[in-house]
């Protein structure tokens, strides 16, 4: 316990200086990636497809240790153990005796943060266990499944000073940089969604069959985070604006029955089982300052991935399968009301954080995620842990993103009635700066 | 009635003698950009007479008169004594149908005046601005036997060579499976058109006073057929949301100066509106509306249980993905070969004649538009246009319904069943 307190004091007092000091003394390192006097200690809970990817990234970073791993599936657990050992680290302590063995891990281990990649329903309990045991927690999406869970995470964060976030998400992007420089004017409307045919994933026992249960029991916009974590900074939600209310509408549900019948025969129980989740859901959100957001959700019908579109008062940008990446800027684009390729703008406005970052030429990362070297999300996360600050995508923004799902369920169940959006910041959204304003201020400072 | 018309035809001389022997007599109300297009189309038909014109701007009225005369037809009677002179025209003239291309607020009054004077009416979009108007059109049609429709709406039949009608045929062939969701809208930067000195400054008045999805008919001309609305299914409910408004003020300040009243006039209409509509059988429509922000035109996307179709600016050419058929898993491929292979018989068999002239605001290029070909045939044969009174008012009703929803914090609004239950037995939508 003493050791832990000492370490925390150290972070609190001199955290801001660490990265700089390390960079200055380590000639070969890229800023923020240097080995440190103090290792960052991580515990992994859930090391399946996505968890094993994150584990493999962590094992490739100098100064990051993995003393504990938790998974209910022995095969996944022992694969993780082997990877840690092969990376030259001490054999990790293993947890997985029961579905709640992560609680023992959180209580017994001395860690900076938990990386949680379980199935959805455990994300909130793992985050709570981490914070109540003096640890931060980075979650895969979605952070929560109910409004109560969201409030509990926010309140526990405020009480303990520890955080649970969708900390692999980055608020800073070429788009937010473009908006900061005024290219699109004021944002009027955004559209995005999770439009991804997951019928196979929901039925395949080797993939994520637990997802199917959500389609059986729930009806709403169940996977809002991938698009929303991009749009929250674009719309300044929780940073000068906030979501006011939403309405949500679902279509009828036929696809999963038909898929079960086609794959397993008409006698299969799922060929006739009632599925609550409509095959398509559309949710409309409005901010108090009058921005709008159309959020689509469809993991049941056959389609290429969806399209993202951001409309401002001075222009519009659109990307996705089938359209590539296109932009139109009023008075700037060469042809009136015709798209042009967005590539040169995206390059010109590439975010400084990304421009200055080199992921390195590491080996190929195993697990579900891909790529080589250290992805910028992990670089930023470890930097935040070293500096003793919350991850770039913070608790309020994370809770806001994931709570869309239970709110949309309420709306759908009430014939698309309007549902008020909770203000997790309790008024702080008025003072919280837009992310790019904060970033540029910090640069000047 | 028909005897009288035959007598008139006989008296009118060879130019008016059609193949059917019976001339079709049309009166035009509103002959600006769109009205002059329709007039020009009508004048290209043999056997179509234009004995009456109505327009409050004398310059337009005189131009229309000269077009009729130049086509070799008798000088038409002119109506332009005030905004309601169309009523006199409807009561005094012997006409088969009135073609209405006025500004929006006159569409329903002109249609009703026509029906009540024993004439059919074809209106430009939107056919009604309120639910009361929509019901009155339906009830008047049922009472008089005369119809009012958006029968010259060109999107389904004529956009990109009849692509959307071919898509309907492709749906009928089962390739898309059952339709689950359609998304489209009217996404068209009309800031200049709406501003003083623009081509339709009266549109601005709607942006000042109203807030909703104010121009639903072009996308609805695809949604209703593709989803069998009123033809085996029906719209049951709607929610609508508008963004803040500000772009029109900014545009006025930039183009007319900061001192101009429009730079600070409060605009009720949000710069973006999205409306969700649910059908009885669980289909969903996303209907977008944005005539204020700068953008290329929007997309149309139709999701079925077996596949998905998309087209619009930015897509390049229309694309399709069909489960188990498209060569690459979950990747778009060009839709053209499928649309070609499933050509709708009406598109396949239509051999359009050349237009004698091409004037006014409309599609179809130098050929006689399919919509006009079908309308004249309807009038000759006594049949109803492909987009009938029920489909037409359903299309336009989305606008007042969306206003009600927006005014009440996106409250759910029930969609009226204008067919009064007939949607259950009306045949799947088709064009013949």
CB-CB neighbors (< 8 A) of A235 in chain B: none
CB-CB neighbors (< 8 A) of B299 in chain A: 307
Q: Does B330 touch chain A (CB under 8 A)?
A: yes
Inter-chain contact A416–B290, Cβ cutoff 8 Å? no
Displacement of CA B405 from its chain's centroid (Å)? 23
As a whole number of angstroms, the distance between CA A60 and CA A63 comes to 9
As a whole number of angstroms, the distance between CA B408 and CA B412 comes to 9
Parts of chain A with a pLDDT under 70? 1-37, 445
Inter-chain contact B293–A328, Cβ cutoff 8 Å? no
The secondary structure of residue A365, as a DSSP letter, is P
CB-CB neighbors (< 8 A) of B414 in chain A: none
As a whole number of angstroms, the distance between CA B124 and CA B360 comes to 14
∠ CA A266-A270-A276, rounded to 5°: 130
As a whole number of angstroms, the distance between CA A28 and CA A325 comes to 36
CA distance A354 to chain B (A): 28
Q: Considering only the beta carbons, identify the residue of B189, B314, B322 that sits closest to A318.
A: B314
Q: Residues 6 or more apart from A225 whose CB is under 8 A from it?
A: A141, A142, A143, A166, A169, A401, A402
In this predicted model, what pLDDT tens digit does every residue of A303-343 receive, in sequence order?
A: 999 999 999 999 999 999 999 999 999 999 999 999 999 99
End-to-end CA distance of chain A: 36
Residues pairing with B310 in the sheet? B301, B319
CA distance B103 to chain A (A): 25
Nearest CA in chain B to A415: B412
Q: How many residues does chain A have?
A: 445
pLDDT of res. B1: 37
Nearest CA in chain A to B286: A282
Inter-chain contact A197–B330, Cβ cutoff 8 Å? yes
Nearest CA in chain B to A257: B305
Structure tokens at B202: 């009266």
Inter-chain contact A278–B282, Cβ cutoff 8 Å? yes
CB-CB neighbors (< 8 A) of B415 in chain A: none
In this predicted model, what pLDDT tens digit does every residue of A143-155 receive, in sequence order?
A: 999 999 999 999 9
Nearest CA in chain A to B279: A251
Sign of the Cα pseudo-torsion (A135, A136, A138, A143, in order): positive
Inter-chain contact A247–B276, Cβ cutoff 8 Å? yes
Q: Does B404 touch chain A (CB under 8 A)?
A: no
pLDDT in tens, chain B (432 residues): 344 444 333 333 333 334 456 899 999 999 999 999 999 999 999 999 999 999 999 999 999 999 999 999 999 999 999 999 999 999 999 999 999 999 999 999 999 999 999 999 999 999 999 999 999 999 999 999 999 999 999 999 999 999 999 999 999 999 999 999 999 999 999 999 998 888 788 889 999 999 999 999 999 999 999 999 999 999 999 999 999 999 999 999 999 999 999 999 999 999 999 999 999 999 999 999 999 999 999 999 999 999 999 999 988 889 999 999 999 999 999 999 999 999 999 999 999 999 888 888 887 788 899 999 999 999 999 999 999 999 999 999 999 999 999 999 999 999 999 999 999 999 999 999
Q: Does B244 touch chain A (CB under 8 A)?
A: yes
Helix (H) or strand (E) holding A341: strand A340-341
pLDDT of res. B74: 98
pLDDT of res. B20: 55
Nearest CA in chain A to B302: A303
Nearest CA in chain A to B246: A313
Inter-chain contact B410–A321, Cβ cutoff 8 Å? no
B252 φ/ψ angles, rounded to the nearest 5 degrees: -60, -45
Q: Considering only the beta carbons, identify the residue of A254, A284, A418 that sits closest to B411.
A: A418
As a whole number of angstroms, the distance between CA B131 and CA B134 comes to 5
CA distance A189 to chain B (A): 7
CA distance A396 to chain B (A): 24
Structure tokens at B385: 């246009």
Inter-chain contact A249–B284, Cβ cutoff 8 Å? yes
Q: Considering only the beta carbons, identify the residue of A251, A305, A417 that sits closest to B180.
A: A251
Q: Residues 6 or more apart from A47 whose CB is under 8 A from it?
A: A55, A69, A70, A71, A76, A77, A79, A80, A117
Inter-chain contact A247–B410, Cβ cutoff 8 Å? yes
Nearest CA in chain B to A184: B294
Closest CA to B127 of B145, B153, B146: B153
Q: What is the largest CA-CA distance in chain B?
A: 66
CA distance B46 to chain A (A): 39
CA distance A175 to chain B (A): 17
Inter-chain contact A303–B319, Cβ cutoff 8 Å? no
A261 φ/ψ angles, rounded to the nearest 5 degrees: -65, -45
As a whole number of angstroms, the distance between CA A68 and CA A49 comes to 18
pLDDT of res. A361: 83
pLDDT of res. A165: 98
Q: Does B344 touch chain A (CB under 8 A)?
A: no
Residues pairing with A195 in the sheet? A298
User: What ipTM is given for this predicted complex?
Assistant: 0.93
CA-CA distances (angstroms) from residue B405 to A443, B127, B211, B239? 45, 20, 10, 6
Nearest CA in chain B to A414: B412
As a whole number of angstroms, the distance between CA B241 and CA A245 comes to 10
CB-CB neighbors (< 8 A) of B296 in chain A: 316, 328, 337-339
Inter-chain contact B294–A328, Cβ cutoff 8 Å? yes
pLDDT of res. A23: 34
Q: Residues 6 or more apart from B367 whose CB is under 8 A from it?
A: B352, B353, B354, B355
As a whole number of angstroms, the distance between CA B430 and CA B385 comes to 11
Structure tokens at B219: 């996308």
∠ CA A340-A346-A347, rounded to 5°: 115
Q: How many residues does chain B have?
A: 432
Displacement of CA A116 from its chain's centroid (Å)? 11
Burial-class residue A300 by CB neighbours within 10 Å (0-12, 13-18, 19+): buried
pLDDT of res. A267: 94
In this predicted model, what pLDDT tens digit does every residue of B370-391 receive, in sequence order?
A: 999 999 999 999 999 999 999 9
A243 SS3 class: strand
Inter-chain contact B286–A282, Cβ cutoff 8 Å? yes
Q: Do B402 and B391 meet the contact criterion of CB atoms below 8 Å apart?
A: no
CB-CB neighbors (< 8 A) of A292 in chain B: 241-243, 270, 272, 274
pTM: 0.92
A65 SS3 class: strand
């Amino acid at each position: 316990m003493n050791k832990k307190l000492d370490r925390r004091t150290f972070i609190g007092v001199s955290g801001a200086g660490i990265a700089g000091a390390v960079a200055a003394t380590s000639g070969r390192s890229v800023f923020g990636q240097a080995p440190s006097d103090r290792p960052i200690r991580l515990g992994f809970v859930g090391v399946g497809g996505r968890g094993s990817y994150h584990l493999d990234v962590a094992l490739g970073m100098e100064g990051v240790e993995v003393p504990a791993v938790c998974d209910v599936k022995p095969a996944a657990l022992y694969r993780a153990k082997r990877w840690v050992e092969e990376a030259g680290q001490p054999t990790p302590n293993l947890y997985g005796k029961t579905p709640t063995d992560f609680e023992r891990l959180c209580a017994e281990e001395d860690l900076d943060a938990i990386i949680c990649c379980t199935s959805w329903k455990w994300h909130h309990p793992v985050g709570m266990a981490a914070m109540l045991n003096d640890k931060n927690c980075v979650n895969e999406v979605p952070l929560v499944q109910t409004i109560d869970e969201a409030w509990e995470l926010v309140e526990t964060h405020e009480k303990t000073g520890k955080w649970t976030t969708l900390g692999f998400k980055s608020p800073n992007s070429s788009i937010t940089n473009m908006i900061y420089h005024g290219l699109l004017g004021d944002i009027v409307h955004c559209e995005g969604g999770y439009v991804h045919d997951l019928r196979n994933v929901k039925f395949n026992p080797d993939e994520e069959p637990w997802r199917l249960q959500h389609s059986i029991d729930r009806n709403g916009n169940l996977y809002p985070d991938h698009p929303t974590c991009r749009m929250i900074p674009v719309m300044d939600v929780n940073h000068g604006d906030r979501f006011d209310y939403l309405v949500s509408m679902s279509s009828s549900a036929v696809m999963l029955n038909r898929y079960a019948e086609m794959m397993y025969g008409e006698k299969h129980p799922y060929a006739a089982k009632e599925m609550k989740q409509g095959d398509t859901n559309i949710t409309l959100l409005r901010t108090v300052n009058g921005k709008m957001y159309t959020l689509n959700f469809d993991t049941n019908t056959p389609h290429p991935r969806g399209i993202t579109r951001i409309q401002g008062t001075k222009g519009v940008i659109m990307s996705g399968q089938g359209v590539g990446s296109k932009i139109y800027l009023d008075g700037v684009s060469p042809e009136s009301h015709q798209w042009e390729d967005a590539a040169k703008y995206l390059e010109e406005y590439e975010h400084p954080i990304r421009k200055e970052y080199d992921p390195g030429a590491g080996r190929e990362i195993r697990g579900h995620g891909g790529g080589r070297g250290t992805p910028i999300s992990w670089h930023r996360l470890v930097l935040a842990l070293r500096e003793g600050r919350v991850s770039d995508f913070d608790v309020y923004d994370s809770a806001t993103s994931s709570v869309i799902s239970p709110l949309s369920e309420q709306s759908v169940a009430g014939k698309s009635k309007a549902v008020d959006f909770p203000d997790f910041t309790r008024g702080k959204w008025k003072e919280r700066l837009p992310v790019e304003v904060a970033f540029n201020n910090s640069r000047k400072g | 009635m028909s005897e009288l018309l035959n007598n008139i035809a006989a008296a009118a001389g060879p130019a008016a003698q059609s193949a059917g022997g019976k001339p079709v007599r049309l009166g035009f109300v509103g002959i600006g950009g769109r009205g002059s297009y329709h007039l020009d189309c009508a004048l290209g038909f043999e056997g179509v007479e234009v004995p009456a014109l109505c327009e409050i701007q004398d310059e337009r009225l005189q131009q229309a008169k000269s077009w009729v005369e130049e086509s070799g037809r008798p000088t038409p009677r002119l109506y332009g004594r005030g905004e309601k002179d169309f009523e006199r025209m409807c009561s005094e003239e012997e006409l088969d149908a009135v073609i209405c291309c006025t500004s929006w607020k006159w569409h329903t009054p002109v249609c009703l005046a026509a029906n009540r004077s024993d004439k059919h009416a074809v209106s430009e979009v939107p056919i009604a601005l309120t639910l009361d108007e929509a019901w009155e059109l339906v009830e008047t049609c049922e009472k008089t036997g005369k119809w009012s429709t958006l029968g010259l709406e060109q999107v389904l039949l004529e956009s990109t060579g009849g692509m959307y009608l071919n898509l309907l045929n492709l749906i009928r062939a089962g390739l898309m499976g059952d339709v689950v969701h359609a998304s489209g809208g009217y996404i068209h930067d009309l800031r200049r058109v709406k501003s003083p000195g623009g081509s339709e400054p009266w549109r601005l008045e709607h942006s000042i006073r109203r807030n909703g999805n104010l121009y639903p008919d072009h996308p609805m001309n695809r949604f209703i057929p593709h989803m069998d609305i009123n033809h085996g299914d029906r719209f049951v409910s709607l929610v609508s949301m508008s963004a803040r408004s500000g772009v029109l003020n900014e545009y006025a300040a930039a183009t007319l100066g900061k001192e101009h009243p429009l730079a600070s006039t409060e605009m009720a209409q949000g710069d973006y509106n999205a409306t969700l509509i649910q059908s009885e059988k669980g289909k969903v429509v996303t209907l977008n509306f944005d005539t204020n922000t700068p953008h290329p035109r929007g997309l149309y996307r139709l999701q079925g249980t077996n596949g998905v179709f998309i087209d619009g600016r930015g897509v390049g050419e229309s694309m399709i993905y069909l489960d188990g058929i498209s060569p690459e898993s979950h990747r778009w491929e060009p839709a053209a070969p499928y649309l070609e292979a499933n050509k709708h018989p009406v598109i396949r068999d239509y051999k359009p004649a050349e237009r004698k002239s091409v004037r006014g605001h409309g599609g179809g290029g130098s050929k006689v538009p399919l919509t006009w070909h079908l309308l004249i045939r309807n009038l000759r044969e006594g049949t109803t246009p492909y987009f009938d009174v029920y489909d037409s008012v359903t299309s336009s009703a989305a606008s007042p319904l969306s206003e009600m929803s927006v005014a009440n914090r996106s409250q759910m609004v029930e969609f009226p069943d204008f067919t009064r239950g007939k949607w259950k037995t009306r045949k799947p939508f088709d064009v013949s």
